[in-house]
A = this chain, B = another copy of it.
């Protein structure tokens, strides 16, 4: 039943959380194994035995990020009573999340590997896919609003989704530049000021 050999002496999830923080702060390429082992409190062989490689560690860190930090932002999309409320929730939750800590940080998925020629094309493509998945989630919510009569049949759901996703991505940059919670909430309000025109 129980493992045969010596059990590991560290909390795998706690170590992963530390790795996530390092990647969040430095990005995939700039985070060195020395940075990671120091923050996680491990020696390199323990890290490689538990996570396989730097790529594997990053993938798990991003998954953890999506399940924790990202959940509060995206979980409310489907459940929102209207598409308008869904978009407003997306941007307001983003503004709150990006300014919740002592220093604004932006999104790991947006900023973790932004270069087209990154050290790991697989990592770059994985983050890109996650970003595009976000756009698609918005688009599907808008299409549902068409079937429900909230939006007219001729509404350009793809364009509306692209607009709100773009604003959300831009908030990551603004957060890293030190934008306050009030500033980001004002950005969210500005984007929602376009709703009536976009929805008709």
Contact present for B156 and A166 (CB under 8 Å): no
Collect the chain B residues with CB atoms within 8 Å of residue A131's CB: 173, 177
Interface centre among A111, A160, A173, A193 (most CB of B within 10 A): A173
Residues of A within 8 A of B (CB): 25-27, 29-30, 103, 105, 110-111, 114-119, 128, 131-132, 156, 158-160, 162-163, 165-174, 176-177, 179, 183, 186-187, 189-194, 196-198
Q: Which of B170, B176, B193, B197 contacts A170 (CB 8 A)?
A: B170
Collect the chain B residues with CB atoms within 8 Å of residue A169's CB: 169-170, 173-174
Contact present for B194 and A190 (CB under 8 Å): yes
Contact present for B171 and A166 (CB under 8 Å): yes
Pick the 6 closest A-B CB pairs, nearest first.
A170-B170, A163-B190, A194-B194, A193-B197, A166-B170, A193-B194
Collect the chain B residues with CB atoms within 8 Å of residue A103's CB: 116
Contact present for A177 and B132 (CB under 8 Å): yes
Collect the chain B residues with CB atoms within 8 Å of residue A166's CB: 167, 170-171, 173-174, 187
Q: Which of B115, B132, B160, B168 contacts A30 (CB 8 A)?
A: B115
Closest chain B CB from A123 CB (angstroms): 12
Q: Which of B27, B186, B190 contacts A115 (CB 8 A)?
A: B27
Q: Which of B115, B132, B194, B196 contacts A111 (CB 8 A)?
A: B115
Contact present for B174 and A162 (CB under 8 Å): yes
Contact present for B176 and A162 (CB under 8 Å): no
Provide the bound-state CA to CA distance between A47 and B15, in Å: 42
